Amino acid sequence: MIQLKAHAKINLTLEVLGKRDDGYHNIVSVLQTIDLADELRFEPHPEIVVECDATNIQPEENLAHKAALAIREALQEERGAKITLTKRIPTAAGLGGGSSDAAATLVGLSRLWEQDLSPGDMGHVAQALGSDVSFFLVGSTALVEGRGEIVTPLPELGETWAVLATPPIELLNKTARLYGALAESDYTFGSATRGLVLALRGGRGLTPDQIFNAFESVAGGIFPGFAEYRDSLVDAGAPPVHLAGSGPTLFALTENAEEAAALRERWDVLGGAAQVVKTIATPYNRA
Ligand code: C5P
């Protein structure tokens, strides 16, 4: 049996450069894995079977299931596997949970079947599953370009604490709708991302003013009740509040664990499930 953790991510920057001919958008983004994680168990089984404790994910829509079918085909493998997925990352929340489950499934099944795909083929399978999946094969702190499939590792951001709050807003085709809501004026040239990359490569830490997310300006118009929820977090005395990926999760960075715990308590009384997280490096070397 193989056990892996599939970590969530936050985007420290997320810039959309423009629309492409294939309907996707070119982005530049600095992504960071955090210690919030789903757990996956892989066991021998004649068929591909996924058991998941989250009732709001349709079995055939589960990215772990799609990833299992894709890697089995790519490896021309005839064996199956039973995958038990314990969800801890809120779903469709901007934290990359489904994509991380997919990446962990690619790694877990390669190990279970003792078969390796070449890095290039693994990259193709990951990319076909979703734009964020390639990043999760690498994890830690990384620069992501293209539609998300070009991943360049960066020097690790030191231990950084944050508090997350996910408003209870579910929206069909959320990511496509957010991209679709962007106006030309929301496109940028990547300078926020380049600035952060230079700072990290130069051994300088992250400052809150380096955080940028192109979807901040359109999220309020897409997620019902989002602006009020965000205001209530800010009113509870938060440091700057940022959108996580395509949202609707919001996060604030804190100086240390104590500040994070205090902020979580203030946010908890708002009825949301606020949680303290910290940055974490590459996920798959640990069982
Ligand atoms: O790749 P993924 O399935 O996560 O993308 C969901 C949707 O988000 C795509 O169908 C596309 O509409 C949009 N998208 C985009 N540009 C990207 C990533 C996603 O337009 N770089």
pLDDT per residue over 209-246, tens digit each?
Answer: 899 999 999 999 999 999 999 999 999 988 899 999 99
pLDDT of 204 over the 50 cut: yes
Confidence bin at 170 (pLDDT 50/70/90): confident
| pLDDT the model gives residue 207 | 86
| pLDDT the model gives residue 287 | 41
Q: Out of 82, 101, 132, 174, pick the active-site residue.
A: 132
* Distance from Cα 24 to the centre of ligand 1, integer Å: 6
Q: What is the DSSP letter of 49?
A: E
Please indicate whether residue 260, judged by its CB atom, sits closer than 6 Å to ligand 1: no
| Domain spans of the chain, in order of start | 2-153, 161-278
Is residue 132 flagged as an active site residue? yes
The Cβ-side half-sphere exposure at 40, using a 13 Å CA radius, reads 34
Please indicate whether residue 25, judged by its CB atom, sits closer than 6 Å to ligand 1: yes
Q: How large a percentage of the chain has pLDDT more than 90?
A: 87
Please indicate whether residue 147, judged by its CB atom, sits closer than 6 Å to ligand 1: yes
The protein residue with its alpha carbon nearest to ligand 1, atom 13, reads: 176
Q: Convert the pLDDT of each residue in 249-269 to its tens digit.
A: 999 999 999 999 999 999 987
Please indicate whether residue 148, judged by its CB atom, sits closer than 6 Å to ligand 1: yes
Task: Tell me the mean pLDDT in the region 98-118.
Answer: 96
pTM for the model stands at 0.96
| pLDDT the model gives residue 271 | 67
| pLDDT the model gives residue 270 | 72
Dihedral (Cα; 168, 171, 175, 180), 10-degree rounding: -130
Q: Out of 5, 9, 66, 87, pick the active-site residue.
A: 9
| pLDDT the model gives residue 58 | 83
Q: Convert the pLDDT of each residue in 32-81 to its tens digit.
A: 999 999 999 999 999 999 999 998 888 888 999 999 999 999 999 999 99
Contact present, 250 and 272 (Cβ < 8 Å): no
pLDDT of 272 over the 80 cut: no
| pLDDT the model gives residue 238 | 80
Beta-strand (E) ranges in 125-237? 141-146, 150-153, 161-165, 212-213
CATH class as words, domain 2-153: alpha beta
Confidence bin at 285 (pLDDT 50/70/90): low
Please indicate whether residue 176, judged by its CB atom, sits closer than 6 Å to ligand 1: yes
* CATH-assigned architecture of domain 161-278: 2-Layer Sandwich (3.30)
What's the CA gap between 43 and 49, in Å, rounded? 10
The protein residue with its alpha carbon nearest to ligand 1, atom 11, reads: 176
Mean pLDDT of the chain: 94
Task: Tell me the mean pLDDT in the region 170-186.
Answer: 95
